[in-house]
Amino acid sequence: MADAHDIVVSDLTVIYDTRGRVVQALDHVSLCVARGQMCCVVGPSGCGKSTLLRAILGLVSPASGTVYVDPGRVRDGMAFVQQDCPLLPWRTALQNACLGAEIRGDLNTVIVDRVKRQLADLGLSGFEGNLAAELSGGMRQRVAIARALESRPGLLFCDEPFSAVDFVGRLALSSQFKYMCRVRGITTVFVTHNIEEAIFLGDIIVVLTGRPGRVKRVYRPQLSVGSEDAVKCREAPEFSELFQSIWRDLGDNNNE
């Protein structure tokens, strides 16, 4: 893992003024994500996880603090997968996954074949020709992930992208997603409510308190078993210890 940091958030505070009501979403949040790392952000509902993601993307202006994103990695490309990424209903799964290349004007048979393989890797073999309405919510999310990864981004931002996927499919998808990001050296910020998912995926795990979100603790999982397998990793003795520790952190939020 390279020492260079692609993302540095320093003392970030975000305050919203919604219909005359001032709400502080984040309070002096700091974190660093190194080149090729996956940073998972967990915390209670409404703690500012999505706000943090949008602040890093430049979609939200901070009240104070700074956000640095390496310009070179920005030029490599950025992708954002939301909790419910809409697909164009009149296009097939394959056509939706190829949309980025089509917009860029570089769609060709090589890219189409690559996207087909990617859809197959994500469990959609045989569904490439199905329209969006013919796919389940979990399948549509897989297409959205394929669309994001097709662009070969240097930076990937995910806001609970697996929430619509069933439990068994989510485990398989987590393993494949982690492999793809690691092989391609993608720096990823991944928001999730799922502690087990964060332990498996995260090179670092940032636990936020209740609103206003502050950094409660930062973990750096080192799993001795199944670090590339979302099922087998649960056999690692560190897994249970990490789960219990993060669970206690989240429980403490109720008293803050």
CB 213 within 8 Å of CB 49 = yes
- Helix, strand, coil % over all residues of the chain, rounded to 5: 40, 25, 35
Tokens of 219: 């973990």
Distances in Å between the Cα of 34 and the Cα atoms of 52, 111, 149, 150, 203 are 17, 29, 19, 22, 10
Question: What pLDDT band is residue 84 in, cutting at 50, 70 and 90?
Answer: confident
Distance from chain centroid for Cα 206:
13
Distances in Å between the Cα of 185 and the Cα atoms of 37, 56, 71, 140, 181 are 8, 19, 16, 25, 6
Alpha helices in 130-219 (DSSP H): 137-150, 167-184, 195-201
Distances in Å between the Cα of 175 and the Cα atoms of 112, 121, 142, 211 are 23, 11, 13, 31
pLDDT score for 94? 94
Taking the model in full, what pTM does it have?
0.90
Question: What pLDDT band is residue 255 in, cutting at 50, 70 and 90?
Answer: very low
Q: Structural domains in the chain? A: 5-77+154-255 (3.40.50.300), 85-151 (no CATH)
Bigger pLDDT: 155 vs 152 = 155
CB 94 within 8 Å of CB 119 = yes
CB 81 within 8 Å of CB 63 = no
pLDDT score for 82? 87
pLDDT digits (tens, 9 = 90+) for 47-61: 999 999 999 999 999
pLDDT score for 253? 62
- Averaged pLDDT for residues 174-192: 93
- Averaged pLDDT for residues 181-200: 94
pLDDT score for 252? 76
The DSSP secondary-structure symbol of 231 reads T
pLDDT score for 6? 95
Check pLDDT > 60 for residue 147. Answer: yes
For 78, how many CA atoms within 13 A lie in the half-sphere containing its CB? 18
pLDDT score for 102? 87
